[in-house]
Structure 1
Amino acid sequence: MYFDPNDKQSLTAKVYARIRDDIIEGRYSNGDYLVETKLAEELDVSRTPIREALKQLELEDLVVSIPNRGVMVQGMTSHDIDDIFTIRHLIEGQAAYWAAERIDQKSLVRLTEIIELMEMYTRKNDATNLARLDTEFHDVIFSACDSRVLRHILAQLHQNTRQVRRNSLTTPERPTRSLSEHRRVFEAIEQHKPEEAKAAMEAHVANAHNRRADA
C-alpha cells in the first residue's frame, strides 16, 4: 500500500497533497496530462480520491480540465512566482513584526536550534537540509506571530515556491548569504525589536526575489 494506513488524514487529502507536491516540485511539467487510471495505479488507490483531488487542484489553478482531452497541469508560471515574492514582501515583514512582540520561549529555543543547524549545513553545503530548515524557520515565525489568517496565507505562498527556494540554495554563495539574513531576522525577534524584525524580513524576501530575477 502506497500510503501509511496509520495516518489519520483522509485518503483524498493524502492523494491531493502528493499530486500537488509533484506539481510544485516540477515532477510534472506544464502541459502534462494527468490520467486518473494511471495515477490510481501508481498510488494504489481507487479513482474516486484521484478525481476529488484533481477537483481541488483545479480550484487552485494548478490543473485545468479540458473537455474531451482530460486534466492538464498548468503549475506555477514565472509570473506567478514573481507575484508570490511581491506579496510575501508586502506581508511577511508584518509576521516578523508580530513574532517579535508575541513569540514564546519555546519558539525562541527552536529558532536558535534552527540557526545552529543552518550554520552546520551551510558549512557542508547541504542544500536539501538547508531548504528543509528554511521552511521550518519561517513556519515557526508564522506560528509565533499569532495570526491564524496570516499564518495560513504565508504557509500557502511558501509551499508554492518551495522548489524555487531549494534551487536557489544550490547556487554559489547563496547559502552563506541566506544564513546571514536568517540570523538578522532571528536576532531582531530574539531581542523583541519589531521594527528591526520587519525590516530584516523584508530585506530577506526582497533579496531572494532579486536573486531570482538575476538568475
Structure 2
Amino acid sequence: MGIAPASCLVRRERVREHRRREALSAFSRFDLDPKPESENNISYRSDQMGLCGFSLWVKSSASAAGADRRDGRTNGMMKSFERTRQPVPMKTAEAIHEMIRERNLKPGDQLPSQRELALALGVSRPSLREALSVLETLGLISIQAGRGVFVAEERSEVAPAESWRFGAHYSLREVFEIRRAIEGAAAFLAVPNMGPEDLDMLEEMSREIETAAANRDVVKVAENDVRFHDLIFARCGNRLFRDIYAEVRRFVVESQKVPMLERNRLAETAKEHRRLVEAFRAANADGARRAMEQHIRGAAERARIFL
C-alpha cells in the first residue's frame, strides 16, 4: 500500500481543521468555550462537506443582511434575516418555503432560477444550494438537472433510501445506530450542566416544534430539532464527545430530516422533545437518556428503520 501524497495529507488536515472550527463556532452561540484555543463567532462558510449550519447564527445573518443592503437589494424576505440569528442556509430554506406558501404554488410549479433566488435573498450560491438540498430532503421541492426547481408532490409513502444523500458514506441505519448510542449518553451527561437559561431555551424550542408540527411547517420543525440537539451536545461537558459529534454532525442533521417526510407524524416528534424537556427540568439524567433513546428509535421507525 503506497504512502498518500503530501498534498492529500495537507487536504485531509485542512478538512479536519475546518470541521473543528465549524464545531467550535456552533457551540459559541451557547456562550460555551469548549476548548482554550476556541475562536468564537467564526463566520459561516458554506462548503461541499455538508456542514451547513455548524457555524451558527451571529455573523452569518448579519453579513448576509449587510451585503444585501450595500447592493441595494433589501426586500421583504431579507428583513427576516436581520431579525433572527440562524444559519444562512436554514434561514434561506425557511424564506423559500414561505414564498411557496404565500404564492400558493402547487406541486409541479416551477420556482425562480437559482440565480434569481440568490439575488432576491442576498445569499451566496453555495448557501442557496444547501438550502435547496434541505428542502429537497424534506420532500418540499424537486431539483431536476437541466430543468430547474419545482414544488414537489407530498408523498404518502416514505422512501428513506431516495431521500438519503449520504449513502456513499454510511447507510441511514448506521447513522441511527450511532445516534442512539451517542445522543443518549450526551443527554445523560448534559443534565447536571443545564442552567436555567438552557432549560428555558429547550422549553422554547420544544414549543416551537409543537406549534410548527400543528401547522405542518416541516422547515420550522427541522430547524428547532437541530438546535435542540446541538444544545444538548454543547452542554454534555466532554470535549472529546463534542469533537466526535462534530465529525458526524452532517450525517446526524441529514438523518433528522428524513423522518419528517411522514407529515402526519410530526406530532410524535413534538411529544418526544417534550418528554426530553421534562426529564431535563427534573434533573433526571437516567430519564433524559431513556427519553433520548426512545426519541431516536421513534425517529428511525418513522424513516422505516427498526432498531
- Scaled by the length of structure 1, the TM-score of the pair is 0.64
Match among 159, 162, 167 for residue 77 of structure 1 = 167
Name 2:240's counterpart in structure 1: 149
Q: Deviations over 1:117-154 (max 9, x none)?
A: 11211111100111010000001111121122212323
Give the alignment partner of residue 19 of structure 1, picking from 23, 45, 48: 48
Q: How much has 1:108 moved relative to structure 2?
A: 0.8
> Any conservation in 2 of the 1:98–1:194 contact (CA below 8 Å)?
yes
Give the one of 175, 181, 192 matched to 2:272. Answer: 181
Query: Per-residue CA shift, 1:50-88, capped at 9, x if unaligned?
Result: xxxxxxxxxxxxxxxxxxxxxxxxx62184322121111
* Corresponding letter in the other structure for 1:132: E
Structure 1 unpaired stretches of 5+: 1-6, 26-41, 44-74
Structure 2 unmatched runs, 5+: 1-40, 53-88, 90-124, 127-164
1:210 to 1:8, Cα distance in 2 relative to 1, 3 A: closer
Q: Percent identity?
A: 26
**Is contact 1:111-1:186 (8 Å) kept?**
yes
Distance 1:96 1:184 in 2: 12
* Cα distance change, pair 214–193 in 1 and its aligned pair in 2 (3 A): closer
Matched ranges for 1:30-109 at <5 A:
76-77=166-167, 79-109=170-200
User: Could you tell me how far 1:106 is from its partner in structure 2?
Assistant: 1.5
Q: Which residue of 2 aligns with 1:208?
A: 299
2:201 corresponds to which residue? Answer: 110
Please say if residues 88 and 157 of structure 1, whose CA atoms lie closer than 8 Å, have aligned partners that are also in contact. Answer: no
**The residue matched to 1:173 in structure 2 has which SS?**
helix
Aligned partner of residue 212 in structure 2, secondary structure: helix
- Per the alignment, residue 171 of structure 1 pairs with 262
1: CA distance between counterparts of 2:177 and 2:42? 36
Conservation of the 8 A alpha-carbon contact between 1:185 and 1:197: yes
What count of residue pairs does the alignment treat as equivalent?
156
TM-score by structure 2 length?
A: 0.46
**C-alpha deviation, 1:22, in angstroms:** 9.0
Equivalent pair of 1:81/1:161 in contact (CA under 8 Å): no
Contact 1:139-1:155 within 8 A present in 2 as well:
no
Q: By percentage of residues, which structure has more helix?
A: 1
C-alpha RMSD of matched pairs (Å): 2.8
